[in-house]
Structure 1
Amino acid sequence: MYAILDIETTGGKYNEEGITEIAIYKFDGHQVVDQFSSLVNPERPIQPYVVNLTGINNGMLKTAPKFYEVAKRIVEITEDCIIVAHNSQFDYRILKTEFNRLGFAFKRKTLCTVQLSQKLLPNQESYSLGKLARALGIPVSDRHRATGDAQATVALFKMLLAKDSEKSIIQDTIQLEAKKGLAANLKTILDKLPHATGVYYIHNEAGTIIYIGKSNNIKNRISQHFTNSSPKSKKIQRHAATVTYEHTGSELVALLKESEEIKKLKPIYNRALRRNSFTHALYSFKDEHGYINLVIDKADGRKKPITTFTNRQSAKSYLFKAVETFNLCQKLTGLYPTKSSCFNYSIKQCLGACVQEESAENYNKRVLQLIEKNSYTNDTMVIIDRARAVDERSAILIENGIFKGLGYFNLNYQITNKKVLETIITPMANNRDAQHIIKSYLRKNKKIKILKFDN
């Protein structure tokens, strides 16, 4: 649990500042579950430059509560939380100073979104909250006021959690909770999970991820893990201390994240999933008459496939539909082995490529349409899919046929060029599995929105 906050102060000499406004959002990693904001009477004058910056003046604070009057609420909302702030060293110091004046030892673990941004969002022009928010498409209202800046920090932290493919933020948080006596009660864990699409992470007591999975219903899938009697499930049940998850909204994003993070983190119970699940592929070749033939074969990393499949049967089912859709020859697609004409030719549904009645030029045009539809070899495009909220979409970036990564954007923030996209995108590996996942998903989801750019 995180307490994401922002504090405005009077300015002045070091450790003599007073708080003029504070906003705190209690965040569970997915949504805000509690919040508190208030002006505060600092019992000392505000520096003129601070008045110009924030708009908060001495007159506004005459009737505001003094710090001791809001201190109890601050302690309650930050209890058992990690304090998150943009330049947390400053905000945490100010809070500790105010509590010290009351004779109370205020102690919390902290996370700084400036430092996290420098690590997870390299090469930004500036790491000030305002400029970073503009670059990332995070809307900011009431800049230099506690509520507006704290809300922007919540949005930034949510993005940083999504970009943290090594899951170091979450694992450190779990280690902190484990020290406070985290109960490994499987039913308690299950009750906190959503019926949502995303990636889930099963952790042991040390916070180490022992299993990563993807599901369109995280709660149901974890329930299966916890009730299954297979040897692997029993080991997971024995070592599971907690489950965290990332709600993606998009099945494609979940599949890509699962694949990437299993390879990167190598959880102990994911060994079977490290193997390639796309066992068969569709290839093409030209025969001695110049006709493009299609053939289903076992996936081979040395050859470039048109598209890939999880098994031979799904490949054949796809090819039967393709024969009908593109009016292809059963013989030249390997679905009707024969030395003469194919079956469809006998019922006048094949134009005769199997017996060279139709020209290779005409026949190949239709085959190339199929190949182009299943390929993005030279394309620069963004696949736009569902995301975590109604006002948000996910974006998967392909550049010159290479998968570059994925991210989320607010619908109020228009994607206009690749530079904007590259800012919000989390870089990911362009390996064979990622290519398989994207091609397979596009093949099955024909209505998905694709935005193309000029190379």
Structure 2
Amino acid sequence: MYTILDIETTGGQFNEEGITEIAIYKFDGHEIVDQFISLVNPEKPIQPFVVKLTGINNAMLQSAPKFYEVAKRIIEITQDTILVAHNAQFDYRILRTEFARLGYDFECHNICTVELAKKLIPEQPSYSLGKLVRALGIPMADRHRASGDALATVKLFKMLLDKDLEKEVVKTFIKTEVEKKLAPKLLDIVSKLPSTTGIYYIHNENGDIIYIGKSRNIKKRVNQHFTGSARKEKKIQAEVFDVSYEETGTELIALLKESEEIKVNKPNYNRALRKTIFPWSLYSKVNDNGYLAIVLEKSDMRKKEIASFATHQEAQNKLFQFTEKYNLCQKINGLDNPKTNCFPYQLNQCNGACIQKETPEEYNLRAEDFLANNEYQNQNMIIIERGRNIQEKSAVVLENGILLGYAFYDLNYQISNIEVLKNVITPLPNNRDSKNIILGYLKKSKYHKIVRF
């Protein structure tokens, strides 16, 4: 559990500032579950430049509660949480100073979204809260008021959690749970999970991820792990300390995240997906006679493939389909190895390229037509589907046929401005696994919308 904090102060000399307003949102990593917002009487005058910046003046605070009157509520809402703030060093210092004046030692694990953003969204022109959320298309109201700044920080933090493919933030949170020696039972773990589409992460007591999975019903799938009798399931049951999750709204993003995050985190019980899941690929090459051949070979990361497949049979079936559809030659494409002409030539289904009756120039026009029309080759498109809630939508973005990543958005401004969209995107590598996941999904899904740009 996290508490997202923002504090406005009187200004003044170091460690002599007083709090004028405080906003705390309790956030479970997915949604706000509690909040506390209040003006505070600092019992000292506010600096004029601060009045101009925040709009909070001395008269507004005369009837506001003093810090000691809200201190108990602050302790209650922040207890057993990780404190999150934009420039956390400042807010945490101010809070500790106020509690120290009351004779109380306030301590809390904390995360700074400035430092987190610098790591996960590098090369931004500015990391001030206002400029950063504007660059990311995050809506913001009441700038320089505690509630507005804290709510914007919640949205920023949620986006940063999405971008944290190595799950360093979640691992830190799990470790704090271990420190409190809370060992939830399997039923307790399952009870807190949603019955929605997304990714789940099974952690051991060190916070390390031992298994990553995706499901259209996270609760049901994790429960199957905990009730299964297979050897792997028994090992997971013995080692699990907690399960974290990310809702994705759409199965496509769940598939893409699962594939990549298994490669990044290398969980002990995901050995099957650590390497490429598409070991066979189609490639194009010009043969000795000048004909453009489409051939089936083992996948080679050094070469650009046309398409990749999970099995040799699946790849061969596709190559037969392509060869027939574009009236290509089975012999040239390596599907037949006769001494003279290919078998389809005898049925008048091949123009004779196999025996050089058809010129390479004539034949290659059809082969190039196939390459030009191959799936999403060199296309700029955004695959839009539902998001994690009713107000939100998801986007998977490809530019020149290359996967850039995915994003969640709730404003048309974010999707219509390609530069803002690129800032919002959680990047994913463009490899044969992601390409084939997208191709396979587009063929079977009926609910997506494609926007070209």
Q: What range is the shorter-chain TM-score in?
A: 0.7 to 0.9
Say if 2:198 and 2:248, in contact at 8 Å, map to a contact too. Answer: yes
User: AA paired with 1:384?
Assistant: I
Say if 1:391 and 1:411, in contact at 8 Å, map to a contact too. Answer: no
Say if 1:241 and 1:424 are closer, same or farther in 2 by CA, change over 3 A.
same
How many Å apart are 1:147 and its aligned residue? 0.7
Equivalent positions of 1:138-177 (< 5 A) are: 138-177=138-177
Equivalent positions of 1:64-75 (< 5 A) are: 64-75=64-75
Q: Which residue number in structure 2 is paired with residue 227 of structure 1? A: 227
The answer on 1:38 being equivalent to 2:35 is no
Moved more, 23-32 or 366-375: 366-375
Say if 1:281 and 1:315, in contact at 8 Å, map to a contact too. Answer: yes
Q: Which residue number in structure 2 is paired with residue 205 of structure 1? A: 205
Say if 2:282 and 2:305, in contact at 8 Å, map to a contact too. Answer: yes
**Within 2, Cα distance between the matches of 1:445 and 1:288?**
41
Cα displacement string for residues 250-289 of structure 1 (whole angstroms, at most 9, x for unaligned residues):
2222222222222222112221221332244456678999
User: AA paired with 2:194?
Assistant: P
Say if 1:285 and 1:110 are closer, same or farther in 2 by CA, change over 3 A.
closer
Say if 1:407 and 1:426, in contact at 8 Å, map to a contact too. Answer: yes
How many Å apart are 1:290 and its aligned residue? 9.8
Q: Sequence identity, in percent?
A: 58
Cα displacement string for residues 348-388 of structure 1 (whole angstroms, at most 9, x for unaligned residues):
xxxx54467xx999998887666545433333433333332
**Within 1, Cα distance between the matches of 2:247 and 2:201?**
11
**TM, length-normalised to structure 1:** 0.85
**Within 2, Cα distance between the matches of 1:241 and 1:430?**
33
Q: Which residue number in structure 2 is paired with residue 9 of structure 1? A: 9
Say if 1:308 and 1:439, in contact at 8 Å, map to a contact too. Answer: no
Say if 1:302 and 1:4 are closer, same or farther in 2 by CA, change over 3 A.
closer
Q: Tell me how large the CA RMSD over aligned residues is.
A: 3.3
**Within 2, Cα distance between the matches of 1:108 and 1:311?**
52
Gaps in structure 1 of 5+ consecutive residues: 346-351
Q: Which residue number in structure 1 is paired with residue 132 of structure 2? A: 132
**Within 1, Cα distance between the matches of 2:7 and 2:75?**
15
Say if 2:308 and 2:432, in contact at 8 Å, map to a contact too. Answer: no
The answer on 1:376 being equivalent to 2:376 is yes
Say if 1:172 and 1:305 are closer, same or farther in 2 by CA, change over 3 A.
same
SS at match of 1:451: strand
SS at match of 2:308: strand
Equivalent positions of 1:252-271 (< 5 A) are: 252-271=252-271
**Within 2, Cα distance between the matches of 1:68 and 1:153?**
26
**Within 1, Cα distance between the matches of 2:189 and 2:329?**
53
**Within 2, Cα distance between the matches of 1:161 and 1:373?**
37
How many Å apart are 1:426 and its aligned residue? 2.8
Say if 1:312 and 1:143 are closer, same or farther in 2 by CA, change over 3 A.
same
Gaps in structure 2 of 5+ consecutive residues: 353-357
How many Å apart are 1:139 and its aligned residue? 0.4
Say if 1:374 and 1:439, in contact at 8 Å, map to a contact too. Answer: no
**Within 2, Cα distance between the matches of 1:292 and 1:123?**
43
Report the count of equivalent residues: 445
Q: Which residue number in structure 2 is paired with residue 429 of structure 1? A: 429
Say if 1:96 and 1:106, in contact at 8 Å, map to a contact too. Answer: yes
Say if 1:339 and 1:423 are closer, same or farther in 2 by CA, change over 3 A.
closer
Q: Which residue number in structure 2 is paired with residue 274 of structure 1? A: 274
Say if 1:17 and 1:286 are closer, same or farther in 2 by CA, change over 3 A.
closer
Say if 2:328 and 2:366, in contact at 8 Å, map to a contact too. Answer: no
Moved more, 43-52 or 72-81: 43-52
**Within 2, Cα distance between the matches of 1:60 and 1:76?**
26
Say if 1:304 and 1:120 are closer, same or farther in 2 by CA, change over 3 A.
closer
Cα displacement string for residues 373-428 of structure 1 (whole angstroms, at most 9, x for unaligned residues):
54333334333333322333333333333333333333343334442232122333
**Within 2, Cα distance between the matches of 1:255 and 1:109?**
33
Say if 1:397 and 1:234 are closer, same or farther in 2 by CA, change over 3 A.
same
Say if 2:117 and 2:127, in contact at 8 Å, map to a contact too. Answer: yes
Q: Which residue number in structure 1 is paired with residue 441 of structure 2? A: 441
How many Å apart are 1:190 and its aligned residue? 0.8
Say if 1:172 and 1:283 are closer, same or farther in 2 by CA, change over 3 A.
same
Equivalent positions of 1:95-114 (< 5 A) are: 95-114=95-114
Say if 1:342 and 1:185 are closer, same or farther in 2 by CA, change over 3 A.
farther
**Within 1, Cα distance between the matches of 2:68 and 2:159?**
34
SS at match of 2:123: coil
**Within 2, Cα distance between the matches of 1:284 and 1:309?**
16
**Within 1, Cα distance between the matches of 2:330 and 2:220?**
45
Moved more, 257-266 or 383-392: 383-392
**TM, length-normalised to structure 2:** 0.86
Say if 1:203 and 1:209, in contact at 8 Å, map to a contact too. Answer: yes
How many Å apart are 1:95 and its aligned residue? 1.3
